[in-house]
Amino acid sequence: MIKHVLVFARKSIKLTILIAVSIFLIICAFVLFFKPIYSVTINGEQVGYSKDKSKLQSKINTYVEEGDGNSNIAFVQIDQLPEYKLCLLKRNIVTNDDEIFEMVKNSGVTYYKFYAIMLGEEEKAYVADFATAEEIVNQLKEKESTNIDQISIQVLYETDLAEFATVEDTVAALYVEKPVVKKPTVTTASTKKVNTSTNISYQKVSIGINLIRPISGTITSRFGAKSNIRSSNHTGLDIAAPKGTPIKAAASGTVTFSGRQGSYGNMIVISHGNGIETYYCHCDKLYASVGTHVNQGDTIAAVGTTGNSTGYHLHLEVRVNGVAYNPQNYVY
């Protein structure tokens, strides 16, 4: 009896070893012929394979933030970012990270940041940086130019880089000498022309509250940018994130709108008092209703692509008395 038990045990051990060896050989063969790799799609179209998703996306993010190194580049707008799917494919599959990066790069629109010296509402000269613009204004003040009250500095974001003027040439062109004899003049009331075509301001104003990031993600379109999908300058900040990502209230306040609003799609508006509002647009779902008081950090909606949208993202606006201000002055 004992002999039979020992024989059975030996056979069981041999069978277990044989099964383990077989599994090991199958795994070795699988590893030998297949490898994990990322399939990359842009706007639903498969464009290649990436061996290192993190490295490729980091390279794209750096290009969006810094462009190709030109000091006047503000940002690069890319409407469609790559999407990645992990696959197990044959080892002879060739990756094309560089080609994918070039596709993304070529689809982007570069925006340059520079400054205009304004005489009233007319752009008279362009300079590369604020320090140069400030030097021009200071020299005109020192020379007591009679039009100094009409001189101002405006920051511009354009797809074409302007030709820059020198400080000396700009001061000479704008300087108006004070007349020796001042004749009496009759003043009449005048109406200042106000540009209301785009209800935005590039100035930074203090709003008196601290905002938190509603979501984490990649910024794909900046404040003030122009695009063929919209008729005016961009009034907010676009942050790409997966569908359904929870959107949190940037600050405490009362929901004053929750519903569908034209090109904004599904939108929530929160009033924070003193004319300060935050807009959360293109949502997939809305969780807060009108009249609800929400605390900072409460989940109010989910990321979607409703309305005039080319992909899943949150369009965030910061408004003060109806005027849109750059959200990056307060968050991100």
pLDDT of residue 105: 85
Q: What is the pTM of this model?
A: 0.46
**pLDDT confidence bin for 201, thresholds 50/70/90:** confident
pLDDT of residue 109: 86
Residue 121 pLDDT exceeds 80: yes
Most confident region among 13-17, 51-55, 187-191 by mean pLDDT: 51-55
Task: Label the pairing between strands 246-248 and 34-42.
Answer: unpaired
- Half-sphere exposure in the Cβ direction for 89 (13 Å, CA): 14
Q: Which of 291, 174, 303, 192 is nearest to 240 (CA)?
A: 303
Burial of 163 (0-12, 13-18, 19+ CB in 10 A): exposed
Segment 239-261 mean pLDDT: 95
The length of the chain in residues reads 332
CATH class of 210-329: mainly beta
Asked whether the CA dihedral 304, 248, 220, 162 is positive or negative, the reply is positive
> What pLDDT, in 10s, does the model give residues 128-156?
999 999 999 999 999 899 999 899 998 88
List the Cα angle 259/261/265 in 5-degree steps: 85
The pair phi, psi for residue 273, each rounded to 5°, is 90, 160
- Half-sphere exposure in the Cβ direction for 155 (13 Å, CA): 19
d(CA 300, CA 18): 58
Least confident of 87-91, 109-113, 287-291: 87-91
Where helices occur in 143-241 by DSSP H, the ranges are 167-174
Residue 21 pLDDT exceeds 70: no
Residues of the chain with CATH 2.70.70.10: 210-329
